[in-house]
Structure 1
Amino acid sequence: MGATTVQVVEVHGHRRAYVRAGSGPVLLLLHGLGCDRTTWEPVVERLAERHTVIAPDLLGHGLSDKPRADYSVGGYANGMRDLLTVLGIDKVTVVGHSFGGGVAMQFAYQFPERTERLALVASGGLGPEVTPLIRAVTTPGYHQAMGVLSLPGLRHAVRGGLGALERLPLSATRDLGEVADILESFRDPRARAAIRHVVRGVVDWRGQVVTMADRAYLTAAMPMCVVWGRDDRVIPVRHAENAARLAPAARVEVLDDAGHFPHKDHPERFAEILTDFVASTRPATYSRARWRRYLVDGPVAPPVQAEAGRAPVQPVPVARVLRLVRGA
Structure 2
Amino acid sequence: MSPKPHEVQHVTIHGHRRAFVKVGTGPALLLLHGLGCSHSTWAPVIDLLARRYTVIAPDLLGHGQSDKPRADYSLGGFANGMRDLLTVLGIEEVTVVGHSFGGGVAMQFAYQYPERTERLVLVASGGLGPEVTPVIRAVTTPGFHQVMGVLTLPGIRHAGKQGMRLMSALPSRHARDLGEMAEIYDSFKDPAARHAIRHVVRGVVDWKGQVVTMADRAYLTEEMPMLVVWGRDDSVIPVRHAGRAGELAPRSRVEVIPNAGHFPHKDHPERFAKLLHDFIRTNQAATYDRERVRALLAHGRSEPAPVATVTDITSA
TM-score, reference length from structure 1: 0.91
How many angstroms does 1:2 deviate by?
A: 2.5
Q: Which residue of 1 aligns with 2:248?
A: 246
Q: Which residue of 2 aligns with 1:50?
A: 52
Q: How many residue pairs get matched?
A: 304
Q: Which residue of 2 aligns with 1:112?
A: 114
Q: Which residue of 2 aligns with 1:197?
A: 199
Match of 2:303, SS state, is: helix
Matches within 5 A, 1:26-175: 26-175=28-177
Match of 1:318, SS state, is: coil
Structure 2 residue ranges without an equivalent (≥5): 307-316
Say if 2:221 and 2:249, in contact at 8 Å, map to a contact too: yes
Q: Which residue of 1 aligns with 2:285?
A: 283
How many angstroms does 1:164 deviate by?
A: 1.1
Letter in 1 for 2:77: G
Say if 2:265 and 2:272, in contact at 8 Å, map to a contact too: yes
How many angstroms does 1:26 deviate by?
A: 0.4
Match of 1:2, SS state, is: coil
Letter in 2 for 1:84: L
Q: Which residue of 1 aligns with 2:185?
A: 183
Q: Distance in 1 between matches of 2:17 and 2:143?
A: 30
Q: Distance in 1 between matches of 2:6 and 2:194?
A: 27
Q: Distance in 2 between matches of 1:145 and 1:138?
A: 12
How many angstroms does 1:3 deviate by?
A: 5.0
C-alpha offsets along residues 169-226 of structure 1, whole Å, 9 cap, x if unaligned? Answer: 0000110111110011011100000000000000001100000000000000100000
Letter in 1 for 2:199: H
> Is 1:318 the counterpart of 2:303 in the alignment?
yes
C-alpha offsets along residues 63-102 of structure 1, whole Å, 9 cap, x if unaligned? Answer: 0000000000110000000000000000000000000000
Q: Which residue of 1 aligns with 2:224?
A: 222
Match of 2:274, SS state, is: helix
Q: Which residue of 1 aligns with 2:209?
A: 207
How many angstroms does 1:251 deviate by?
A: 0.7
How many angstroms does 1:266 deviate by?
A: 0.3
Q: Which residue of 1 aligns with 2:259?
A: 257
Letter in 1 for 2:147: A
Letter in 2 for 1:63: Q
Letter in 1 for 2:192: R
Q: Distance in 1 between matches of 2:151 and 2:280?
A: 42
Q: Distance in 1 between matches of 2:298 and 2:83?
A: 26
Q: Distance in 1 between matches of 2:4 and 2:293?
A: 41
C-alpha offsets along residues 208-261 of structure 1, whole Å, 9 cap, x if unaligned? Answer: 000000000000010000000000010000000000001111111000000000
Match of 1:157, SS state, is: helix
Say if 2:204 and 2:211, in contact at 8 Å, map to a contact too: yes
Letter in 1 for 2:155: G
Q: Distance in 2 between matches of 1:149 and 1:87?
A: 39
How many angstroms does 1:4 deviate by?
A: 2.7
Q: Distance in 2 between matches of 1:3 and 1:99?
A: 23
Structure 1 vs Structure 2: percent identity of aligned residues?
Answer: 70
Q: Which residue of 1 aligns with 2:275?
A: 273
Q: CA RMSD in A?
A: 1.1
Q: Distance in 2 between matches of 1:221 and 1:289?
A: 12
Say if 2:5 and 2:43, in contact at 8 Å, map to a contact too: no
Q: Distance in 1 between matches of 2:31 and 2:5?
A: 18
Letter in 1 for 2:101: F
Q: Distance in 2 between matches of 1:3 and 1:208?
A: 33
Q: Distance in 2 between matches of 1:213 and 1:145?
A: 35
Q: Distance in 1 between matches of 2:286 and 2:4?
A: 32
Q: Distance in 2 between matches of 1:2 and 1:275?
A: 22
Structure 1 residue ranges without an equivalent (≥5): 301-316, 323-328
